[in-house]
C-alpha cells in the first residue's frame, strides 16, 4: 500500500528525474499498481528540470517530490536516500515501468539479515533489431549472474539496499556527472567490504532500449568511458565482475589487434592473412552467444556477430578515451600549485 508520510513504512522507492515529463508518468502509474502487501512511499527528486516535469508530478499527490537545482543523478539519488525514512530503499529510473510484483520481489531478499543489496532485470516490448540485441545481451549477462551466490554489480534501474549500509558508504559518488557507472562503482565498493548482494530475476521493469545502431554505439562508448573511472577507483574489478562475460572483455582487443593485422598484411609480414586469423578468432569468441541467441531469434543470432564487432570497437574507443581523460586529469592535478598557508 502506498503510504505517503507514514513513518513506519517498509520501503522507500526513489526516482531521480531531469526533464522527465515525457516518460515518468508511466513509471509512477506502474508504481500505483504494485501488489506489495506492506506500506511504501515514493520519493521523486526533481533535479532541476526545465520542462513540464513538475506538472506531471502534480498528478500524483501521493508522491513526495523534492526539488533541487540540477546536481546530477548521483547527487539526486543521495538526496532521496537522506530524505527517506524506510530501512529498505529501492531505486528505479524515470524511464522504467515496473511490473506489479516488482516491489514484492525486490523486498524478498532482505528477509536474510546478511543481504545488503539486490538487483532486478530489464525487459522490453520493442521489436527493432538493435533493441532486441540489447535485450539479448542483458539476458546473457543475467544468465551469468544467476549462477553467482553473491553479485558485485547493481544498476539503478532496479536496485535495492539497506539504507544504513548505503549511507555508511556515503552513497553514490557524485564525481560521476552523468547517469553512467556511478551505480557500478558503489556496487564494487560494497562488494569490496564482503557484503552480500543478490540477483533477483523475477523483479522486472520494462524499458525502452536504444533502437538505432548509432544510439546503441553511442551508449556503449559512454558506458565504457565512465566505467574506466569506476575501475580506477576499484582496480580489482578490471579483470572480472559478476555482470560482464569474460569473452566480452577479450573482445575489447579486436579493434586494435585488427588494425595491426591489417597493417601486417599491407606490409606482407606473414604468408597467411593476419586479418583473416584475427577475424576468425573474434568470431570464435562470439559463437557461444550467437548460438544461444539463434535458438530464440534466428535473424538476430545470424547478424549478432556484426553488431558485436561494432560494439567492441565502440567500447574500445570508450575505454581508450576514458583512460586518456583520466591520465590527463591526473597530470593536470599533479601540476596544480599547492596553496601556501599563511601563518
Euclidean distance between CA atoms 217 and 109, whole angstroms: 35
Q: What is the pLDDT of residue 271?
A: 85
Q: How confident is the model at residue 340 (pLDDT cuts 50, 70, 90)?
A: low
Residue 171 backbone class (left: φ over 0; alpha: ψ -120 to 50; beta: rest): left
Decide: residue 235, CB within 10 A, 0-12 exposed, 13-18 middle, 19+ buried.
Answer: exposed
Q: How many other CB atoms are there within 10 angstroms of residue 280's CB atom?
A: 10
pLDDT (tens digit per residue) in 243-288? 888 889 899 999 999 999 999 999 988 888 999 999 999 999 999 9
Residue 76 has pLDDT above 90, yes or no: yes
Mean of the pLDDT values across residues 84-112? 97
Euclidean distance between CA atoms 244 and 179, whole angstroms: 19
Using CA of residue 151, residue 94, residue 226, residue 251, what is the dihedral sign?
positive
SS3 324: helix
Lookup: cell for 284: 570464435
pTM score, two decimals?
Answer: 0.90
Mean of the pLDDT values across residues 113-142? 97
Residue 69 has pLDDT above 80, yes or no: yes
Mean of the pLDDT values across residues 223-250? 89
Amino acid at each position: 500500500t502506498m503510504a505517503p508520510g507514514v513513518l513506519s513504512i517498509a520501503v522507500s522507492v526513489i526516482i531521480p528525474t531531469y526533464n522527465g515529463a515525457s516518460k515518468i508518468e508511466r513509471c509512477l502509474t506502474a508504481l500505483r499498481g504494485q501488489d506489495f502487501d506492506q506500506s511504501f512511499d515514493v520519493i521523486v527528486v526533481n533535479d532541476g528540470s526545465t520542462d513540464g516535469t513538475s506538472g506531471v508530478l502534480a498528478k500524483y499527490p501521493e508522491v513526495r517530490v523534492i526539488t533541487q537545482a540540477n546536481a546530477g543523478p548521483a547527487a539526486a539519488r543521495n538526496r532521496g536516500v537522506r530524505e527517506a525514512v524506510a530501512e529498505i530503499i529501492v531505486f528505479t529510473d524515470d524511464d522504467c515501468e515496473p511490473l506489479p510484483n516488482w516491489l514484492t520481489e525486490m523486498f524478498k531478499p532482505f528477509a536474510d539479515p546478511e543481504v545488503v543489496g539486490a538487483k532486478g532485470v530489464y525487459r522490453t516490448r520493442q521489436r527493432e533489431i538493435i533493441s532486441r540485441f540489447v535485450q539479448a545481451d542483458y539476458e546473457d549477462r543475467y544468465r551469468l549472474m544467476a549462477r553467482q551466490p553473491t553479485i558485485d554489480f547493481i544498476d539503478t534501474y532496479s536496485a535495492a539496499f539497506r539504507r544504513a549500509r548505503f549511507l555508511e558508504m556515503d552513497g553514490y559518488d557524485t564525481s560521476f556527472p552523468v547517469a553512467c557507472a556511478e551505480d557500478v562503482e558503489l556496487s564494487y565498493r560494497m562488494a569490496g567490504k564482503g557484503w552480500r548482494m543478490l540477483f533477483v530475476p523475477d523483479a522486472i521493469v520494462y524499458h525502452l532500449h536504444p533502437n538505432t545502431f548509432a544510439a546503441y554505439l553511442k551508449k556503449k562508448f559512454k558506458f565504457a568511458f565512465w566505467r574506466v573511472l569506476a575501475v580506477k577507483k576499484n582496480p580489482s574489478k578490471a579483470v572480472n565482475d559478476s555482470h560482464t562475460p569474460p569473452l566480452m572483455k577479450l573482445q575489447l582487443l579486436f579493434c586494435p589487434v585488427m588494425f595491426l593485422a591489417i597493417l601486417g598484411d599491407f606490409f606482407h609480414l606473414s604468408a597467411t592473412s593476419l586479418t583473416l586469423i584475427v577475424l576468425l578468432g573474434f568470431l570464435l569468441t562470439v559463437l557461444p552467444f550467437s548460438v544461444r541467441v539463434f535458438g530464440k531469434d534466428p535473424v538476430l543470432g545470424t547478424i549478432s556477430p556484426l553488431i558485436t564487432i561494432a560494439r567492441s570497437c565502440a567500447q574500445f574507443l570508450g575505454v581508450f578515451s576514458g583512460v586518456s581523460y583520466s591520465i590527463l586529469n591526473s597530470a593536470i592535478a599533479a601540476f596544480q600549485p599547492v596553496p601556501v598557508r599563511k601563518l
